[in-house]
Amino acid sequence: MIDPKKSHMDGYTPPKIWRWDHEAEGQFAAINRPTAGSTHKKELPVGIHPLQLYSLGTPNGAKVSILLEELLATGHDGAEYDAWLIDIMSGDQFGSGYVAANPNSKIPVLVDRSTGGDPQRVFESGSILLYLAEKFDAFLPKATADRVEAINWLFWQMASAPLLGGGFGHFYSYAPTKLKYPIDRFSMEVKRQLDVLDRHLVEHTYMAGEDYCIADIAIWSWYGLLVQGDLYDAGEFLSVHEYVNVRRWAESISQRPAVRRGIRVNRVWGEASGQMRERHKAADFDTTDAPSTQD
């Protein structure tokens, strides 16, 4: 039996008391630390729209910009927004203004300035999706059973994706040393999650039934990108071709114009046509070079 207090894969034995080794963080040394709070004073910029999004075009960030674009596409003009880039590798998330909006210092965060009182901060991507869906009464089923099902799957994504991202993604793509045990462990879990989705989607067009909703947006931003080969370059490694129902569902969502727009927002890597450093108006999508400040 493996002793859980020892690793027989890399010879590491945990010390009696853990101490932070800053140098061991490598490329992530500037953003990972065992304490919270701000490191410097920096106020957040504020644009002209009611909704201010501070984000980065990662899967968690893309969830919110996709929903905002979907809301605008269906005629909810009050969903017009400014999207400001938060460069996490430069530590923007530790500025005093950002920490005031999100004490957890993760992206994204939304500030709603249309409430008539103090601006409402909303942090955690799942919370933002639910907040916007309720605010605009859209992309969340009205029937009680379907609504509960949508929220079930939204919470499923929030609980499951850290095992895909911080677990599999970190050890497979970013860890300075490739270790068999964590890669095997998290690969097994990600494939189990994909199987959960694939079995569910045998009899469902979307996650909560026949209507596309915030649960689909949340899950597609991680697992849709994964099965389409756009996350960690791990499609072949995880044999994602096996999950035919997930792939069918993912492809249908990826064809939505609002999804194609939303996935570009605050994205600063990849093909130039897929990038948009900031977004302040719909016309910003007409050019491949996004504006760095408002016009």
Which domains, and CATH codes, for the chain?
51-139+264-286 (3.40.30.10), 144-261 (1.20.1050.10)
pLDDT at residue 10 greater than cutoff 80: no
Q: Does residue 21 contact residue 14 with C-beta atoms inside 8 Å? A: no
Percent of the residues in the chain that have a pLDDT greater than 90, as a whole number: 86
Going by C-alpha positions, the residue among 139, 124, 4, 1 that lies closest to residue 61 is: 124
Instruction: Summarize the confidence of residues 30-56 as an average pLDDT.
Output: 95
How confident is the prediction for the chain on average, in pLDDT?
Answer: 93
Q: pLDDT tier at 11 (50, 70, 90 boundaries)?
A: confident
pLDDT at residue 5 greater than cutoff 90: no
pLDDT at residue 112 greater than cutoff 70: yes
Q: pLDDT tier at 64 (50, 70, 90 boundaries)?
A: very high
Q: pLDDT tier at 290 (50, 70, 90 boundaries)?
A: very low
Q: pLDDT tier at 30 (50, 70, 90 boundaries)?
A: confident
What is the pLDDT, as a whole number, of residue 292? 41
Sheet of 120-123, strands arranged across: 81-85, 51-55, 109-112, 120-123
Write the pLDDT tens digit of every residue in 193-207: 999 999 999 999 999
The model scores a pTM over 0.95? no
Q: pLDDT tier at 32 (50, 70, 90 boundaries)?
A: confident
